[in-house]
Amino acid sequence: MSEHVYKIVELVGSSTKGSDEAVRNAIARAGKTLRNLDWFEVKEMRGHLADGKISHWQVKLAVGFRLTD
């Protein structure tokens, strides 16, 4: 029962609003094609600048999901 196997995919979410929102956007996209999403881990936080301001935040994250047998 506890001998599950999980797969991890790496995504970069972006948002004009902030870092947490960039994470949420990536998770939302992952949920469209993957089932059994279980956890995420932030790997890198960065962003693009335009006209001296943050045009969008970019957060790289690992997302783990349980593989079905």
* Start-to-end CA span in the chain (Å): 11
Encoded one letter per residue, x for contact with a copy of itself by CB under 8 A and - for no contact, window 20-59 reads x--xxxxxxxxx-----xxxxxx-xxxxxx--xxxxxx--
Return d(Cα 49, Cα 40) in angstroms, integer. Answer: 26
* Alpha carbon distance 2, 57 (integer Å): 37
SS3 27: helix
Number of shown-chain residues binding a copy of itself (CB under 8 A): 50
What's the closest the beta carbon of residue 21 comes to a copy of itself, in angstroms? 9
Least Å from the CB of residue 36 to a copy of itself? 9
Query: What are the residues binding a copy of itself (CB under 8 A)?
Result: 2-16, 18-20, 23-31, 37-42, 44-49, 52-57, 60, 62-64, 67
